[in-house]
């Protein structure tokens, strides 16, 4: 029973990792760039959200307004950072996101502040009573609801990516800028869309993580949790981010419980990286990544 409980709560916390990883995957899919600034975007979104709420703005309106801020940010990023760098090597764009990371961290704390803010989005972090009575399992209601929210977001994103014109355009842009433009895909608009989408993911991740940890600077470091998820799942697979998040979540909790005692505990923090590394030996593109095609 205890094992099952650990397993389930691991899965649910894994969903939270997936959420952060998803933000990376979106931008990677559409531009081939690892967005180092994703953590800072989570921080910015969460801080903006929490400060709007503290101003007395209703929850739903604050969420929409924060999304608006993230859209404006996306437009700025496209106009002033990406547009001048069209057709530059990917490493240049990667360096750019490192700079952007520091800029956004600073901006978020300069505009708002660097205090720790409690965030209450109306879901209590208490055991799910119904489930406890029925099965005896102690599972946090908050975990369940955030897992549902994350799943909803994922379903929407995968439909948009795989079944629509915009999604096809996004995939096309990630493959070849020149070719994408030649078939009439406006690169600039696509970039705004994808950065806005990843802003939305950052907002959801920020709100959920912020509720759990409090909105503070360390939220930007949560992004590091996404790294092993990305390696495990593959950088360009939405599905991969989800499944890998679940695997990492469950395995790090189970690992802590079963292997932890033999090595003095505390393996939760590095276990995901070990797991990710082992997967790399076997599948360099990750579990769900696009197969690497190389013609010699």
CA–CA dist 213, 231 (Å, integer): 25
Task: Compute the least distance from the CB of residue 286 to other proteins, in Å.
Answer: 14
Question: In terms of DSSP H, where are the helices of the chain?
Answer: 2-31, 38-54, 59-76, 90-111, 129-135, 141-163, 165-175, 177-182, 187-213, 219-233, 238-258, 271-282
CA–CA dist 181, 125 (Å, integer): 48
Task: Compute the least distance from the CB of residue 294 to other proteins, in Å.
Answer: 8
Q: Is 163 in the site for other proteins (CB under 8 A)?
A: yes
The single residue among 164, 224, 258, 270 that binds other proteins, judged by CB under 8 A, is 164
Report whether 23 contacts 209 (CB < 8 A): no
The single residue among 107, 145, 166, 257 that binds other proteins, judged by CB under 8 A, is 166
Show contacts with other proteins in window 233-262 (CB under 8 A).
Answer: 236
Taking phi first (over 0 means left), then psi (-120 to 50 degrees means alpha), and beta for anything else, what does residue 102 get?
A: alpha
Q: Which residues contact 196 (CB under 8 A, 6 or more apart)?
A: 70, 71, 74
Query: Quick check: helix, strand or coil at residue 28?
Result: helix
* Stretch binding other proteins (CB under 8 A), from 38-46, 74-82, 126-134, 164-172: 164-172
Q: Spell out, one character per residue from 140 to 159, where the chain touches other proteins: x when CB under 8 A holds, - when not.
A: ----------------x--x
In this complex, which beta carbon is closest to other proteins, that of residue 17 or of residue 161?
161
Q: Is 295 in the site for other proteins (CB under 8 A)?
A: yes
Q: Is 171 in the site for other proteins (CB under 8 A)?
A: yes
Task: Compute the least distance from the CB of residue 79 to other proteins, in Å.
Answer: 15
Q: What is the DSSP letter of 87?
A: T
Q: Which of 122, 97, 101 minimizes the C-alpha distance to 43? A: 101
Show contacts with other proteins in window 173-192 (CB under 8 A).
Answer: 174-176, 178-187
Q: Spell out, one character per residue from 10 to 49, where the chain touches other proteins: x when CB under 8 A holds, - when not.
A: ----------------------------------------
Q: By the criterion CB under 8 A, which residues form the site for other proteins?
A: 156, 159-160, 163-169, 171-172, 174-176, 178-187, 236, 290-291, 293, 295
């Amino acid at each position: 029973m205890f094992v099952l409980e650990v397993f389930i709560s691991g899965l649910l916390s894994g969903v939270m990792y997936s959420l952060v990883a998803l933000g990376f995957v979106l931008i990677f899919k559409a531009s081939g760039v690892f967005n180092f600034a994703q953590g800072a975007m989570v921080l910015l979104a969460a801080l903006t959200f929490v400060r709007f709420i503290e101003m007395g703005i209703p929850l739903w309106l604050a969420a929409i307004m924060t999304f608006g801020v993230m859209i404006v940010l996306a437009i700025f990023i496209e106009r002033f950072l990406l547009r001048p760098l069209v057709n530059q090597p990917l490493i240049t764009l990667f360096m750019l996101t490192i700079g952007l990371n520091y800029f956004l961290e600073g901006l978020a704390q300069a505009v708002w502040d660097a205090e720790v803010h409690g965030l209450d989005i109306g879901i209590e972090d208490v055991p799910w009573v119904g489930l406890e009575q029925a099965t005896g399992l102690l599972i946090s209601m908050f975990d369940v609801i955030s897992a549902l929210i994350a799943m909803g977001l994922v379903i929407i994103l995968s439909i948009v990516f795989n079944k629509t014109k915009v999604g096809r355009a996004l995939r096309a842009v990630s493959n070849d800028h020149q070719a994408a433009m030649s078939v009439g895909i406006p690169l600039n608009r696509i970039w705004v869309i994808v950065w806005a989408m990843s802003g939305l993911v950052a907002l959801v991740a920020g709100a959920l993580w912020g509720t759990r940890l409090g909105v503070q600077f360390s939220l930007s470091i949560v992004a590091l949790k996404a790294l092993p998820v990305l390696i495990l799942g593959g950088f360009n697979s939405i599905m991969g981010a989800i499944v890998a998040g679940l695997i990492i979540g469950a395995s790090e909790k189970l690992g802590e419980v079963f292997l932890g005692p033999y090595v003095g505990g505390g393996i939760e923090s590095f276990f995901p990286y070990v797991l990710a590394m082992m997967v790399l030996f076997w599948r360099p593109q990750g579990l769900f990544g696009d197969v690497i095609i190389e013609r010699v």
